């Protein structure tokens, strides 16, 4: 396993926008350490000169007309999904 | 088990009502999260009046609850989307409906499809169709179990690293993960965009072929879909098949190994050539997978912010608190593990050592597959190292849970088609599956081989 600190976990949680409880931080410290220990095995391979693979579609440059398509969805359909809305806008709590 | 043809030319309303009754009679398996009964009955009546026709007229089916479908929420088995009413339907669902199929409900899964047992569902696990003390597999566990219990003749799932093939193997049904880009992912909750695929469960290969034939094809709403290529076919004689040596080591359950070797003997008797082949790099596939996939998960799940849709936490004072609490409450532990591993491997200072290195080793894996496909038409091995494991057996150790996917992730990372076919049972009655892997776009050839072996 790879040793990571509670501060490391808190930093990752902040990067990930997760407000974790103390118990979660303790559990994740162990789990993440174990998982990093497992995936570290890739470091033993020599990949000098190997190109990375980011996608496996065999496709490149898929073009389309620069034309707006709303896919049959209107503004109201999307606003209806928001936890709270008012006057045609998504409402959020005061955050400043 | 029933087939699609058993439902054709029957009263569609009766088909739907009977399927719902079967599901209710077996509700202790917890395979379904919701019914789409009202809409299903409306559509059934339209079929019975002759207003909807097609190759699946009146045939009931179930979708994994990460597909947008009308008539019930799309929860992805999470608190985050518990009340999410999709404003549109997945292209895959639309295509099946256009052929007259009727969705009757939505199947349980690991929350956001993160898992290999369906125990990560925020609403409780699904039980194995053959033994209620064992897991259904996952992440498409509910879809596998409704098919295995004969509630419906087919069901849809998504497969990112084995999420169709592994539960198909655990429940004794056929599971198809197509070539990356075969079926549109429009309207399906995204997990890891470079390996997410849409496929199906069926009780035999011919039914799976029909469903894939209907769902496959280019979709302008998903720019990663391939030009149309899927065409049902019959098996070619004298195929060259490679049995992957690394999948039949002593780490593999002896009964699983024996069932695989028995299937190899049947392939030989049917006139195919089977040789043992080696894939040394495959032992690194799981490590590649658990870097690449969490990286993509952390990006894809960034959209759940509690603002535009999904769960929003109460009583927060700042924007950071709104995001943080909404996400902490809406995600299960495994979602958080993957998001945070993703953040780690993508963060500056670690990117080259983890993410970039993984994508380079992914190239080496693909090269090894390509080399084998110069000489072989199909590669074969067990779908999973063991039959279904016990409920709770692997939940305390994420690595142990991940190891159940060790045989299915290589094809996912390479974008290759792979199907799991049932080949036998263990001495305690649990199903065993074999995985057939082919070259890109050879999906129909794999299904043709599976069809021929069901008759052999």
Domain that holds residue A27: 6-44
Task: Verify whether the Cβ–Cβ distance A56 to B366 is below 8 Å.
Answer: yes
User: CA B90 to CA B105: how far, in whole Å?
Assistant: 14
Mean pLDDT for chain A overall: 93
Q: Is the pLDDT of residue B152 over 70?
A: yes
The Cα B439–Cα B59 span in angstroms is 32
Alpha carbon of A40: minimum distance to chain B alpha carbons (Å): 8
Nearest of B265, B311, B313 to residue B456 by alpha carbon: B265
Residue of B nearest to A45 (CA): B361
Report how far residue B364's alpha carbon sits from residue B368's, in angstroms, rounded to the nearest whole number: 6
Residue-level pLDDT at A16 = 97
Which residue ranges form the domains of chain B, and what is each CATH number? 4-215 (3.90.1300.10)
The reported pLDDT for the residue numbered A58 is 83
B223 contacts in chain A (CB < 8 Å): 62, 64
- The helix/strand/coil state of B154 is strand
Could you give the strand order of the β-sheet that contains B418-425, starting from the edge strand earlier in sequence?
B32-35, B102-107, B60-64, B154-159, B197-202, B174-177, B418-425, B431-438, B378-382, B240-244, B273-277
**Does the residue A40 lie in any domain?**
yes
Hey, what are B94's tokens? 């639309």
Whether B118 has a pLDDT exceeding 70, the answer reads: yes
Mean pLDDT, range B149-156, rounded to an integer: 98
CA distances from A36 to A30, A39, B135, B403 (A): 10, 5, 26, 15
Do the chains contact at A42 and B361, CB–CB below 8 Å? yes
Pairing of the two strands B240-244 and B378-382: parallel
**Chain B interface includes A35 (CB < 8 A):** yes
Select the residue of A41, A45, A53 nearest B359 (Cβ to Cβ). Answer: A53
Known active-site residue B117 = no
Q: What is the ipTM of this complex?
A: 0.95
Nearest chain B residue to A15 by CA distance is B343
Tens digit of pLDDT for each residue in B414-428? Answer: 999 999 999 999 999
Q: What residues form DSSP beta bridges with B379?
A: B242, B437
Mutate to test the interface with B, among A42, A64, A75 (most CBs of B within 10 A): A42
User: Rounded to a whole number, what is the distance in Å from the CA of B66 to chain A's nearest CA?
Assistant: 16
Using alpha carbons only, what angle is made at residue A62 by residues B193 and B233, rounded to the nearest 5 degrees?
75
pLDDT at A94: 78
User: Is the preceding omega at residue B139 within 30 degrees of 0, hence cis?
Assistant: yes
Dihedrals phi, psi of B130, to nearest 5 degrees: -105, -15
Nearest chain B alpha carbon to A47: B360
Residue B13: its pLDDT value, please?
A: 98
How far is the C-alpha of B451 from the C-alpha of B456, rounded, in Å?
Answer: 9
What SS3 class is residue A92?
coil
Tell me whether residue B106 is one of the annotated catalytic residues: no
List pLDDT tens digits, range B86-105.
999 999 999 999 999 999 99
Give chain A's domain count: 1
- Chain A residue with CA closest to B286: the answer is A39
Burial class (CB in 10 A: 0-12, 13-18, 19+), B416: buried
Residues 6+ apart with CB under 8 A from B60: B7, B15, B16, B19, B40, B101, B102, B103, B104, B152, B153
Out of B322, B331, B337, closest to residue A93 by CB: B322
Q: Which two tokens stand for residue B344?
A: 């780690």
E-assigned strands of B19-138? 32-35, 60-64, 102-107
Is the pLDDT at B301 greater than 90, yes or no?
A: yes
Percentage of chain B lying above the pLDDT 90 cut: 97
Give yes or no: B64 in active site: yes
Instruction: Give the minimum alpha-carbon distance from A10 to chain B in angstroms, rounded to a whole number.
Output: 10
pLDDT digits 0-9 by tens, B353-396 = 999 999 999 999 999 999 999 999 999 999 999 999 999 999 99
Please report the pLDDT score of residue B200 as a whole number: 99
Q: Could you say which of B64, B106, B134, B257 is catalytic?
A: B64
* Tokens representing residue A93 in the block: 């709590």
Residues above pLDDT 70, as percent of chain B: 100
Task: Provide, as residue numbers in chain A, all residues whose Cβ is less than 8 Å from the Cβ of B360.
Answer: 47, 50-53
Distances (CA, A) of B87 to A78, A96, B34, B187: 8, 32, 17, 10
User: Who contacts B21 (Cβ-Cβ below 8 Å, separation ≥6)?
Assistant: none
Please tell me the predicted confidence (pLDDT) of residue A92. 87
How close B15 gets to chain A, by Cα (Å)?
Answer: 31
Q: What is the dihedral of CA B106, B391, B133, B330, to 10 degrees?
A: -30
Among residues B140, B143, B163, B412, the one annotated as catalytic is B163
Residues from chain B that touch A84, judged by Cβ atoms under 8 A, are 312
In this prediction, residue B328 has a pLDDT band, given cuts at 50, 70 and 90, of very high
Q: Are B177 and B165 in contact (CB under 8 A)?
A: yes
In Å, how far is A73's CA from the nearest CA of chain B? 7
Residue in chain A lying closest to B323 (CA): A17
Question: What per-residue string of b and e applies to B259-284 under the rule 16 or more CB within 10 Å gives b?
Answer: bbeebbeebeebebebeebebebbeb
Contacts of A57 in chain B (CB under 8 A): 180-181, 224, 226, 415
Contact (CB<8Å) A56/B88: no
Report the pLDDT value the prediction gives residue B389, as an integer from 0 to 100. 98
Across chain B, mean pLDDT equals: 97
**Confidence category of residue A61, pLDDT binned at 50, 70, 90:** confident
Whole-angstrom Cα distance, residue B241 to residue B449? 11
pLDDT digits (tens, 9 = 90+) for B389-404: 999 999 999 999 999 8
Find the length of chain B: 456
Element (H, E) at B364: helix B357-375
What band does A60 get if pLDDT is binned at 50, 70 and 90?
Answer: confident
Q: What is the dihedral of CA B296, B282, B223, B331, to 10 degrees?
A: -30
Asked if B339 and A16 come within 8 Å (Cβ–Cβ), the reply is yes
Residue B437 has, within 13 A of its CA and on its CB side, a CA count of 27
In a mutagenesis test of the A interface, which of B197, B336, B348, B409 is the best target, namely the one with the most A β-carbons within 10 Å?
A: B336
Q: Determine, yes or no, domain membership for A62.
A: no
Specify if A37 maps to a domain: yes
CATH number at residue A12: 1.10.20
Cα B89 to Cα B3, B113, B291: the distances in Å are: 25, 19, 31
Q: Which of B117, B139, B158, B452 is catalytic?
A: B139
User: B26: closest CA among B108, B119, B118?
Assistant: B108
CA distance B205 to chain A (A): 25
**Any B CB within 8 A of A68 CB:** no
**Over residues B212-229, mean pLDDT:** 96
Which of A4-18, A62-76, B122-136 has the lowest average pLDDT? Answer: A62-76
Contacts with B321 from chain A: Cβ below 8 Å: 19
**A43·B357 Cβ contact <8 A:** yes
Q: What is the pLDDT of residue A44?
A: 96
What length does chain A have? 96
CA-wise closest residue to B411 among B244, B204, B226: B244
Q: Say yes or no to pLDDT of A96 above 70.
A: no
Per-residue DSSP letter, A9: H
Distance CA A33, CA B399 (A): 11
């Amino acid at each position: 396993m790879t040793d990571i600190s509670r501060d490391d976990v808190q930093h990752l949680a902040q990067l990930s926008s997760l407000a974790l409880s103390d118990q979660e931080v303790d559990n994740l410290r162990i789990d993440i350490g174990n998982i990093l220990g497992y995936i570290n095995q890739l470091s033993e391979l020599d990949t000098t000169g190997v190109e990375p693979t980011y996608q496996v579609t065999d496709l490149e440059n898929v073009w389309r007309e620069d034309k707006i398509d709303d896919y049959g969805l209107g503004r109201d359909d999307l606003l209806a999904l928001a936890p709270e809305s008012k006057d045609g806008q998504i409402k959020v709590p005061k955050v400043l | 088990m029933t087939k699609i043809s058993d439902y054709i030319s029957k009263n569609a309303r009766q088909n739907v009502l009977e399927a719902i009754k079967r599901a209710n009679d077996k509700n202790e398996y917890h395979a379904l999260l919701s019914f789409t009964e009202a809409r299903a009955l409306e559509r059934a009546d339209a079929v019975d009046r002759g207003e909807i026709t097609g190759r699946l007229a009146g045939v009931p089916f179930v979708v994994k609850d990460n597909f947008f479908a009308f008539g019930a929420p799309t929860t992805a088995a999470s608190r985050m989307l518990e009340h999410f009413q999709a404003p549109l339907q997945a292209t895959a669902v639309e295509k099946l409906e256009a052929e007259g199929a009727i969705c009757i409900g939505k199947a349980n899964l690991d929350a956001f499809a993160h898992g290999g047992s369906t125990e990560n569902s925020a609403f409780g696990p699904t039980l194995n169709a053959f033994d209620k003390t064992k897991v259904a597999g996952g992440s498409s566990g509910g879809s596998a179990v409704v098919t295995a219990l004969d509630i419906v003749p087919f069901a849809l799932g998504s497969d990112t690293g084995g999420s169709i093939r592994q539960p198909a193997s655990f429940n004794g049904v056929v599971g198809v993960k197509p070539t990356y880009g075969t079926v549109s992912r429009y309207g399906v909750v995204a997990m890891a965009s470079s390996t997410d695929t849409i496929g199906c469960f069926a009780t035999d290969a011919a039914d799976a072929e029909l469903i894939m034939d209907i769902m496959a094809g280019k979709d302008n709403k998903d720019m990663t879909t391939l030009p149309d290529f899927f065409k049902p076919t019959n098996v070619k004689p004298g195929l060259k098949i490679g049995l992957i040596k690394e999948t039949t080591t002593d780490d593999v359950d002896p009964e699983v190994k024996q069932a695989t070797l028995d299937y190899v003997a049947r392939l030989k008797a049917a006139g195919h050539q089977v040789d043992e082949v080696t894939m040394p790099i495959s032992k690194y596939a799981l490590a590649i997978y658990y870097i690449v996939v969490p990286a993509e998960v952390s990006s894809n799940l960034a959209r759940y912010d509690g603002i535009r849709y999904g769960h929003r936490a109460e009583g927060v004072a700042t924007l950071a608190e709104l995001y943080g609490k909404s996400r902490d409450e809406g995600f299960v532990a495994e979602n958080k593990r993957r998001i945070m591993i993703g953040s780690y491997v993508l963060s500056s200072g670690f990117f080259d050592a983890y993410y970039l290195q993984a994508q380079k080793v992914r190239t080496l894996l693909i090269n090894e597959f390509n080399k084998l496909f110069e000489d072989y038409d199909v590669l074969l091995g067990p779908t999973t190292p063991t039959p279904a494991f016990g409920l709770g057996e692997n939940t305390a150790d994420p690595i142990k849970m991940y190891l159940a996917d060790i045989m299915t992730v290589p094809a996912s990372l390479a974008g290759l088609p792979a199907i799991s076919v049932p080949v036998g049972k263990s001495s305690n009655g649990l199903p065993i599956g074999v995985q057939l892997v082919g070259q890109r776009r050879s999906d129909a050839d794999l299904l043709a081989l599976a069809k021929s072996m069901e008759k052999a």
